[in-house]
Amino acid sequence: MNKVKDIKEIVATNLIKYRKANNLTQSQLALKINYSDKAISKWERGEALPDVLILKQIADVYNVDLDDMLHEQTAKEKIQNFYRSRLFISSLSILLVFLVAMIAFVVMNIVLPSFPNYLAFVFAIPVSFIVALVFNSLWGGRVYNMILVSGVTWGTMVSLVLSLENIEAIRNSIHYLYLIAGVFQILIILWYTMDFLSASKKSKKNINNENETI
């Protein structure tokens, strides 16, 4: 009995740590594995154990081995290393974007010295948000996605305004692009709000279905 209790505690601890390391709520995890957050809450409290197939499915969501979910000694180190590797990969990718921008800046200074070469760095900003959005879609949460999509929108509009403001014919009207960005911002907020409400509704439906089954 003690061994079973120990395994429950180890699995419960690992479930909590890996879920938090992946910035997921119990409801979000429930959607990913097509289970109820009520069951996940029981697992994380150590009141029950998920079966092997479900535990393997959860391990796949976290991109770890099934063995990592069952052992206490390596769980903490695995989480720390996984989190650091994600941060390192994301940061390195963004730095590469600005490295390309630096190369473009130098080349344009040589080939086109009269061109506003600082735009290479300006356009690197929305590109960096896009890169961060890709990685966050894999590893992060919906809230961060909304922020990053907003960054892509405003970064793109700022880049366009700075690129086109030297054109005399449209100089006085170019700033209306910011109004378009404002409309997109409202749509982004509405979209992610509806997505969150839909996810919550689906999670509640799963809970109700499980209660009916019980």
pLDDT digits over 161-206, tens only? 888 887 777 777 888 888 999 999 999 889 888 877 776 666 666 5
Neighbours of 95 (CB within 10 A): 11
| Nearest CA among 47, 146, 59 for reference residue 68 | 59
Q: Per-residue pLDDT averaged across 71-100, rounded? A: 76
Of 97, 110, 120, 23, the C-alpha closest to 62 is 23
For the chain, the domains span 2-73, 115-208
**pLDDT tens readout for residues 119-149:** 999 999 999 999 999 888 877 666 788 899 9
- CA neighbor of 179 nearest in space, from 210, 153, 145, 143: 153
Residue with tokens 């509806």: 194
d(CA 53, CA 213): 20
Q: What is the pLDDT of residue 1?
A: 43
Over residues 11-27, the mean pLDDT reads 87
Q: Which amino acid belongs to residue 68?
A: D
| C-alpha span between 196 and 165 (Å, rounded) | 38
Alpha helices in 24-176 (DSSP H): 26-33, 37-44, 52-61, 66-70, 75-111, 119-139, 142-164
Residue 4, pLDDT score: 56
Task: With beta carbons less than 8 A apart as the criterion, state whether 153 and 188 touch.
Answer: yes
Q: What is the mean pLDDT of residues 49-73?
A: 84
CATH code for the part of the protein at 2-73: 1.10.260.40
State the first-to-last Cα distance of the chain, in angstroms, to the nearest integer: 25
Classify the phi-psi angles of 167: left when phi > 0, otherwise alpha if psi is within -120 to 50, otherwise beta. Answer: beta
Per the CB < 8 A criterion, the answer to whether 152 and 130 are in contact is: yes
Q: Confidence band (pLDDT; 50, 70, 90) for 2? A: very low
Return d(Cα 197, Cα 203) in angstroms, integer: 10
CA–CA separation, 192 and 102 (whole Å): 34
How far is 40 from 209, CA to CA, in rounded Å? 15
